[in-house]
Amino acid sequence: DAGITQSPRHKVTETGTPVTLRCHQTENHRYMYWYRQDPGHGLRLIHYSYGVKDTDKGEVSDGYSVSRSKTEDFLLTLESATSSQTSVYFCAISPGQGANQPQHFGDGTRLSIL
């Protein structure tokens, strides 16, 4: 498996609380991604990063923010969680470098907002 660790693996919290999910990689890959996975949908991109302090929005970025202060860590924050953000969240990494490369995934964080 690619060296990707997501934490926590499971979290239950209440509407309106802030939540931060962490993705840590040991591959020194340039690109990191956050996706959410819901029944009836393919993986949907929330935000991604193409380097330290370089991030961009994906297709479902509303209500989420990200930060990347080190190559190995990519944080996803829900400033004020809502029930619609109940989902399974996956982090992925890729070497990038302009050529098509597969993304490799962590094992996910299951987040429930009550």
| Token output for 112 | 């429930």
Instruction: Return the residue of 25, 55, 85, 94 that touches other proteins, per CB under 8 A.
Output: 94
Which residues, including other chains, have CB under 8 Å from residue 75's CB and lie 6 or more apart? 20, 21, 22, 23, 66, 67, 68
CB atoms within 10 A of CB 45: 17
Instruction: Return the residue of 15, 17, 28, 41 that touches other proteins, per CB under 8 A.
Output: 41
Q: Give Cα separations from 49 to 5, 11, 41, 56 (angstroms).
A: 17, 24, 23, 6
Report d(CA 49, CA 104) in Å as an integer.
Answer: 14
* Interaction between residue 107 and other proteins (CB under 8 A): yes
CB of 33 to other proteins, least distance (A): 8
Which span (15-23, 63-71, 74-82, 93-101) binds other proteins, by CB under 8 A?
93-101
* Interaction between residue 106 and other proteins (CB under 8 A): yes
Binding site for other proteins (CB under 8 A): 4, 31, 37-45, 48, 50, 58, 88, 90, 92, 94, 96, 98-100, 102-108, 110
